[in-house]
């Protein structure tokens, strides 16, 4: 009887040790596992979109599903990144109409921005992507064309493993607060100041 009780105690101690190990394994797995990040590339210096493209390329190389939606880039533009994406079989979707401050039809730009946001929302909510990039989204947010609270709500409700990257100058405070990784590109020199025009492979 005493031996039997001892063996039950031993067994339950063994079970507890096993449970402790299982918990530790789960914790370690969670730490190693994917944690979706909200990433913001902002500031007045060059490199916000380029850095996002670098992450698009990295994630593509890892066999992840990635998409970049561009709020300002003209649909007719045959940029280097669009040509590369076509060859790689990666989705880059330009939905803008050039730069807004050059545009004469703000209503048209506002409608385009809404159309682009609807598609971003659809892509995020589909849960079918590992990385969703919203390039130059800060501008329609600044102009008040898009509702920041709605954008934040969609970000918060996304699939936990999904990374979302947002680019553009003057990222709003609320977006910075919500983000996990925020980088500010700061301009020190730009060739444009010396009248040097945009260079192929560097700017487009």
Would you give the binding string for ligand ATP spanning residues 178-197, x where CB under 6 A is met? -------x-x--x-x-----
Residue 105 beta carbon to ligand ATP: minimum distance, rounded to whole angstroms = 20
With contacts defined by CB under 5 A, name the span among 1-9, 39-47, 49-57, 137-145 that binds Mg ion. Answer: 49-57
Locus of tokens 């921005």: 113
Order across the sheet with 131-135: list the strands: 91-96, 66-74, 131-135, 163-167, 38-42, 181-184
Work out which of 64, 91, 110, 203 binds ligand ATP, going by CB under 6 A.
203
Residue 70 touches which of ligand ATP, Mg ion, none (Cβ within 5-8 Å per kind):
none
Q: Does 49 bind Mg ion (CB under 5 A)?
A: yes
Q: Distance of alpha carbon 15 from its chain centroid, rounded?
A: 43
Q: Does 41 bind Mg ion (CB under 5 A)?
A: no
**Region 111-150 residues binding ligand ATP, contact defined as CB under 6 A:** 136
- Contact between residue 91 and residue 120 where contact means Cβ atoms under 8 Å apart: no
**Cα 143 from Cα 71, distance rounded (Å):** 13
Q: How far is CA 80 from CA 2, 66, 91, 167, 193, in A?
A: 79, 18, 14, 18, 24
- By beta-carbon proximity to Mg ion, the closer residue of 42 and 49 is 49
**Region 41-60 residues binding ligand ATP, contact defined as CB under 6 A:** 46-50
Burial class (CB in 10 A: 0-12, 13-18, 19+), 175: buried
Query: Applying CB under 6 A, which residues contact ligand ATP?
Result: 46-50, 136, 167, 169, 185, 187, 190, 192, 203
| List of residues contacting Mg ion (CB under 5 A) | 48-49
């Amino acid at each position: 009887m005493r031996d039997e009780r001892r063996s039950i105690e031993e067994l339950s101690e063994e079970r507890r040790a096993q449970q402790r190990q299982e918990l530790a394994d789960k914790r370690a797995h969670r730490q190693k596992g994917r944690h979706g990040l909200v990433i913001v590339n902002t500031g007045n210096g060059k490199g916000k979109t380029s850095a996002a493209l670098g992450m698009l390329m990295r994630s593509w190389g890892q066999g992840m599903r990635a998409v970049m939606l561009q709020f300002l880039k003209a649909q007719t533009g045959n940029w280097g990144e669009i040509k590369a994406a076509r060859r790689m079989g990666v989705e880059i979707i330009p939905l803008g109409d050039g730069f807004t401050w050059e545009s004469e039809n703000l209503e048209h730009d506002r409608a385009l921005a809404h159309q682009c946001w609807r598609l971003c929302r659809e892509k995020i909510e589909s849960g079918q992507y590992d990385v969703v990039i919203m390039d130059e989204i800060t501008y329609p947010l600044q102009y008040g064309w898009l509702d920041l609270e709605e954008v934040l709500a969609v970000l918060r409700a996304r699939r936990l493993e999904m990374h979302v990257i947002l680019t553009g100058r003057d990222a709003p405070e609320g977006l910075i607060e919500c983000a996990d990784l925020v980088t500010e590109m700061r301009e020190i020199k730009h060739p444009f100041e010396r009248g040097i025009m945009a260079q192929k492979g560097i700017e487009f």
